[in-house]
Structure 1
Amino acid sequence: MRKALVASSLLALLLGGCASNPADRDVSGTWINQVAIDAAAKGGPLREALQSFGPNLEWEVNTKASQARYYNGFEVAEGKLLGEKSGAWSVDFYGSSATELKRKGKQLLQGANDNEPEQLFARPKEPAPEGAPLGANFERALYAAYMGGDWKILDGFGSGAIVQFQANGKVAGLPNVDQYSLCLAGDCASMSGGYDSIWLQLNGQGNPWIFVRKGKQLEIFQAINTAQADEVPQFTPGPRQWLLEKQ
């Protein structure tokens, strides 16, 4: 009987230890806004999905150094971890309300405050190369989900060709284009108004373009600047350059 009680006590301790596993409360490392990526991957407007589930797109947390940073599509904000209380970490950003971070299962939960809504983040499935800037993990995952696969040019220069937009920003098959970058937020978003925009370049030289995503179809338009020479550029869709369809 005594042996049975001892065994039961040991089992309870082991189970208790599993339930309070420090790894389950660890907020350290890189986290991306997978919810926003999943919403965009449905094939609708990109910035609409990012605005609905943003604004923050990637977190990098270092509890040992008491540091936390986030990327929102156009800038990086650096904060200081003030400490942990009941599994929640408070992050102080100069000039704004403190942000609370804590684990929610396998995800990272950013609590709502006066400036931002509640958001959920996940570990990147395919981390960016070591040394990549903050935001690279989110962008790689977004590019793979939103632009990945084979696209056929239905209309425009190169009609019939198969195009691939790669997760690292490279392009194959689109005439006179070898790299691309999606506009997530910031100045490029302000200049394109309510339209989604994409930067297309060849050999380091490029221009902004307007695009419209509707399910499996992707239209790319010339970006016409309607502003005066001394004003901030304002782009609107011009003639359509390409119509692509995801295969």
Structure 2
Amino acid sequence: MRSALALSLLAAILSGCASHADRNPDGTWINQIAIDAAVKGGNLREALLANGPNLEWQVNTKASQATYSNGFELGEGKIASAANGKLHINFYGNFSEDLTVDGDELLQAASDSGPEQHFERPESPAPEGAPPGSSFEKALYGAYMGGKWTIVSGDGQGGIVQFLPDGSVQGLPDNDRYALCLAGDCAAMSGEYDSMWLEKNEQGNPWIFARKGKQLEIFQAVNEAESDQMPQLRPGQRRWLLEQK
């Protein structure tokens, strides 16, 4: 009986410790659902908007700080209360958000700023000190652009291209860095089309792209706006057709 009682008490203690650890909100959380939706194909920004607006949370209860990124803006909030995995966060502008740790997820409650959202721990977070949103971007780039792509047509035809999670690109002629447009001014300029930035030696230009399954088309971005208007980028001549191996 004493042995059974001791085992029961030990199990309860261990269970309590595990429960406490599981409810720790500190660290980085990313919107994996948005990434999974994007990988299925179609318009990238539509997938992010449909499962957003927020893409990443960084929580630091010791400093009473919580920061979200939506791919363009950062919201820096003050944690007003934190108990049992539940956070109430106040932001400048008189609005607040509520977060709850639910198992392996961080749940953002529905509010005036958006619907209910779910976040997960990143498998490979960005290095310490990286800007907020970097872990989501790294995970998205790895899932959405990862693998090896063959240049079916365009400069370097027959070559192999690799878009790496850190934003570097190998094998795409005259380019060594890329960045996908997730939100903000670049999204306003390209409208319904997805866009990316390509550069070499820190000199580059925006491009329109369309990803359909294992094919990726990259078009020159043509500005249809007047000189005194915000640019309106539309797809021009196709520069590359890539196919994922």
- Which of 53, 56, 60 matches 1:55? 53
1:175 corresponds, among 173, 176, 193, to: 173
Kindly state the Cα deviation for residue 84 of structure 1 after the two structures are TM-superposed: 2.6
For 2:95 and 2:128, locate their aligned partners in 1 and report how far apart those are by CA, in whole Å.
31
For 1:98, what is the secondary structure of its paired residue?
strand
Segments of structure 1 that go 5 or more residues without pairing to the other structure are none
> Structure 1 residue 16: deviation in Å?
5.2
Contact 2:198 2:207 in 1 (8 A): yes
Cα 1:186–1:96 change in 2 (3 A) is: farther
Stretch of structure 1 that moved more, 237-246 or 82-91: 82-91
Q: How many residues align?
A: 245
**In the TM superposition, what are the counterparts of 1:210-225 in structure 2 within 5 Å?**
210-225=208-223
The Cα RMSD (Å) is: 1.6
Q: Is the 8 A contact 1:97 1:113 kept in 2?
A: no
Contact kept, 8 Å, 1:221 with 1:241, in 2: the verdict is: yes
Residue 216 of structure 1 aligns with an amino acid whose one-letter code is K
CA displacement 1:178-204 (0-9 Å, x = unmatched): 110000000000000110000001111
Structure 2 residue corresponding to 1:159, chosen from 149, 157, 160: 157
Cα shift readout 1:100-151 (whole Å, capped 9, x = no counterpart): 0111111111111012111111111112122211111111110000000010
Contact 2:68 2:75 in 1 (8 A): yes
Which amino acid in structure 1 is aligned with residue 121 of structure 2?
R
1:209 alignment partner in structure 2: 207
Query: Match for residue 17 of structure 1?
Result: 16
Q: Secondary structure of the residue that 1:131 maps to in structure 2?
A: coil
User: 2:25, 2:85 within 8 Å by CA — same for their partners in 1?
Assistant: no
Unaligned runs of 5+ in 2: none
Aligned counterpart, 2:133: 135
Listed one character per residue, the Cα deviations across residues 36-94 of structure 1 (whole Å, up to 9, x for unaligned) are 11111223221111011111111110111111001110121100101035542101112
Separation in structure 2 between the aligned mates of residue 45 and residue 162 of structure 1, nearest angstrom: 24
In structure 1, C-alpha distance between the alignment counterparts of 2:236 and 2:102, rounded to whole Å: 46
Question: CA offset at residue 17 of structure 1?
Answer: 2.2
CA distance 1:177–1:18, change in 2 (3 Å): same
- Opposite residue 9 of structure 2, the aligned amino acid is L
Secondary structure, counterpart of 2:35 in structure 1: helix
Which residue in 1 is equivalent to 2:236? 238
Deviation at 1:13, TM superposition (A): 3.7
Alpha carbons 2:181, 2:195 under 8 Å: kept: yes
Judge conservation of contact 1:47–1:196 (CA < 8 Å) in 2: yes
| 1:157 CA displacement | 1.3
The aligned amino acid for 2:105 is Q
- Inter-partner Cα distance in structure 2 for 1:37 and 1:105: 20
Q: Is the 1:225–1:234 contact (alpha carbons within 8 Å) kept by the matching residues of 2? A: yes
Distance in 2 between residues matched to 1:131 and 1:175, nearest whole Å? 32
User: What does residue 146 of structure 2 align with?
Assistant: 148
- Relative to structure 1, is the Cα distance of residues 81 and 240 closer, same or farther in structure 2, using a 3 angstrom cutoff? same
Alpha-carbon separation, structure 1, partners of 2:176 and 2:14: 54
Distance 1:193 1:87 in 2: 39
Q: What do the CA deviations read for 1:145-181 (whole angstroms, capped 9, x no partner)?
A: 0000010111111111111111111111111111100
